[in-house]
Amino acid sequence: MAYQVKLKYLHISPRKVRLVADAVRGKKVDEAQSILGFTVKKASLPILKLLNSAIANAKGKTDNLFVYKITVDEGPAMKRILPRAKGRGDVLRKRSSHVTLVLDEIKDNKKKKK
């Protein structure tokens, strides 16, 4: 059974969050938690909290869970004006992210011999 959680409006650029998401994609839950615990990126803490939330939704069945899918989509960008020379202004885009994480169970493909 798949367990899906979402994190919306994370105030970190999607490009930076994808670096952390790529590190845990396809890993077992215990391994993903240890990777996120030792990753020195700003996005590692919110993704770790999201992973822990998904584990709580699975009611603690961490024995055979893995990160089936993790996607980072672009959220709305706040626009700010930076003053420049001769009365001009540059637009700064403060980007945000939407993160979707799906946990699934590892299927055993071993068939019992009769």
* Residue 39 counted as domain residue: yes
Using the predicted structure, report yes or no on whether residue 110 has a pLDDT greater than 60: no
Taking the C-alpha atoms of residue 21 and residue 73, their distance in angstroms, rounded to an integer, is: 11
The model's pLDDT over 47-106, given as tens digits with 9 standing for 90+, comes to 999 999 999 998 867 788 999 999 999 999 999 999 999 999 999 999 999 999 999 998
* Residue 21 counted as domain residue: yes
* Residue 11 counted as domain residue: yes
The domain in which residue 38 lies consists of: 3-105
In the block, which residue shows the tokens 């009365």?
Answer: 87
pTM of the model: 0.86
* Residue 70 counted as domain residue: yes
Cβ 36 vs Cβ 53: under 8 Å = no
The H or E element spanning position 84 is: none
* Residue 114 counted as domain residue: no
Residue 98 belongs to domain with CATH number: 3.90.470.10
pLDDT at 81: 96
Number of domains in the chain: 1
pLDDT at 86: 95
* Residue 111 counted as domain residue: no
